[in-house]
Structure 1
Amino acid sequence: MDAIVTSPTGAPTNLASTSAPAIPKSHAEAHTGRTTAVHELAHCPEAAGAARRFTRATLGAWGVDEDTTEQALLVVSELVTNAVEHALPPVALHLDHHAAGSALRIEVDDGGPAPRDGTWTSSCTPDEHGRGSGIVARLAVTHGRRREDHCVTYWADL
């Protein structure tokens, strides 16, 4: 399957024409009805906002309904924030849409656990953080984690 990849600056590395100028056209496989987009994110606090903008534009271009889009934005925000706060770079967001069943998979790859938490988490009291996995569990049909040699992927299906 082909995918569009964008850099942390938002510049696509494989640009195809699109009706939404900020988002490259994703590739679809005719026999599966599957569309995928990938966005590489900077490992910084602004990554969650960039991921939400990319997600909203991409899902809008795909014609995903507003309720699913709003749920996806919350899940994306939680998964990317966790990657920035608790893991090493690189961070990449993957969106995968199956048109037939309207299923949406969200994946966030990171470089594995960081030796210490990020600045936001470190500055909080325990009751000010730690709700992200509960939010993802509530919104997702299913979710989980996949470990590889130098990468951890957290995923959620909506």
Structure 2
Amino acid sequence: EAGLAWGYDAGGEAVKTDQLASIQAVLGGAGDDLIQGDANANWLYGGEGDDTLDGAGGGDTLFGGAGADRFIYEAGDGFTVIGDYEGGTDKFELHGLTTFTTYLAGTGTDTVVDFGNGDRLYLVGILPEDLSQHSSDFLFI
């Protein structure tokens, strides 16, 4: 696990992760990685395994890599690029959001999912019609 922000669990104990400061990019390994960014613009790549990526705001770019990956996105995270979403395999965990304000807007071979208030996911290489077949990949939490 790697986190770019200092953190503690609910009981006040230091989390069992590597906490890194002043880092803009993280490359995960072959295992199932949990990689969390900070409020800055981060580039996070999970690598192999079933990874969980959380940019935590700041104009991030996330790549899950091989495996069934989970992208965490929260209201207020702003503009985030997802470089390798695979429909039916990867999932989006959406916190504090209830629906798409503008459902899908295609831009060439890419799709923008607009939640309003500046919160947008930019999905590289995904057409709107491809994404509509995988609506169950969007988990509203």
Give the helix-richer structure, 1 or 2: 1
TM-score (norm 1): 0.29
TM-score (norm 2): 0.32
Higher RCO structure (Cα 8 Å, ≥6 apart): 1
